[in-house]
């Protein structure tokens, strides 16, 4: 559970993050290992990385690329 009581993939969970950061969803990169959470983030316009626990370096590198790092 979270301190907000709102759990992914509820769109309000992603909105709480973007609002807290003061960023549009498209400027954020969401990383998760659950397809339903990835789909929820994509639905609100976030860039996403499906984290593969068997290839963490690859997933990490993809997230860095999307962040422009």
Residues 33-49 have pLDDT tens digits of 999 999 999 999 999 99
Give the pLDDT band (50/70/90) at residue 2.
low
Distance between CA atoms of residues 31 and 60, nearest Å: 9
Share the mean pLDDT of the chain. 94
* Six token digits for residue 40: 């929820």
Helix (H, G, I), strand (E, B) or coil at 49: strand
Give residue 4's pLDDT: 80
């Amino acid at each position: 559970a979270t301190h907000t009581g709102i759990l992914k993939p509820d769109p309000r969970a992603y909105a709480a993050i973007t609002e807290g950061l003061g960023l549009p969803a498209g400027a954020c990169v969401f990383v998760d290992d659950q397809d339903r959470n990835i789909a929820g983030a994509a639905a609100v316009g976030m860039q996403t990385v499906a984290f593969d626990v068997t290839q963490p370096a690859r997933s990490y590198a993809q997230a860095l690329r999307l962040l422009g790092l």
